[in-house]
Structure 1
């Protein structure tokens, strides 16, 4: 596996669309998926490659002088539990060290949702040092309560 910083806007969008379209359990709603594809070019972006094929990515958004956010992250399901997510997260954290952020945050579907796929997502984030901060039931919608998780950098 190789993790690279991707700077080309078209390549960022292409990788994002390729990966997210193969993750329908997490990114099955067309409108948010298209928004990620069309806006990911704005943010720092790292992609994981296996045999020169993109199998995952992470994009980091600057929220304010103290906090960066994982804007979107996806890893092809066949490559889960192989260290790719941890590698991407580590590389992204290294990439933002010079900005002296205090926190890294991420939004995902909260614990009040019975969705088993997002339960796996929360388990991943907690396993790499994130802690639940707050669940917001009115940010997205009733079926998708938003859980904000934070990690002290």
Structure 2
């Protein structure tokens, strides 16, 4: 299966992907919010396309020139485990690094909340080079949110003005 990773915005496709992943995205209001974010120009939007159909999405938000956040990443269950998530993350890392971004973060459900799907999510981000920074209660939902970070390789090796 040939997969293309492209810059593309499609709220309906994001909705279809998220609705196919109820273990992670089972709250209709959250799906509505992510679908709206997918067409909002303040987010970077990459989509994985297979046979002309979106099968994966990665939305980013650049908070500062030095840092960005993965706001949403999801891969349709029919193609999970085929390397699409890895390719989405590698593409955003390459794009951000080329723009001298130094740090990429992602938030997910923390390990103090036992949940097999989110344990898979944390393991994926760990394999992708992210390290756990801190866990907070009531940050984005009533339970624990884990913040993971990854340093990015950039052409700027300095650390600001001295």
TM-score where L is the length of structure 2: 0.86
Higher Cα radius of gyration = 2
Which residue in the other structure is 1:146 paired with? 145
In structure 2, relative to structure 1, the CA distance for the partners of 1:101 and 1:119 (3 Å cut) is: same
Give distance in 1, aligned partners of 2:126 and 2:46: 21
Which residue in the other structure is 2:87 paired with? 87
SS in 1 for 2:10: helix
* Greater fraction helix: 1
Moved over 6 A (4+): none
CA deviations 1:91-147 (Å, max 9, x no partner) are: 1122223431110000000000111100000000000000000001121334x3110
Displacement of 1:12 after TM fit?
2.2
Aligned residues: 148
Mapping of 1:36-51 within 5 angstroms? 36-41=34-39, 42=41, 43-51=43-51
Aligned-residue CA RMSD (Å): 1.3
Which residue in the other structure is 2:6 paired with? 4
SS in 2 for 1:140: coil
Which residue in the other structure is 1:132 paired with? 132
Mapping of 1:43-82 within 5 angstroms? 43-82=43-82
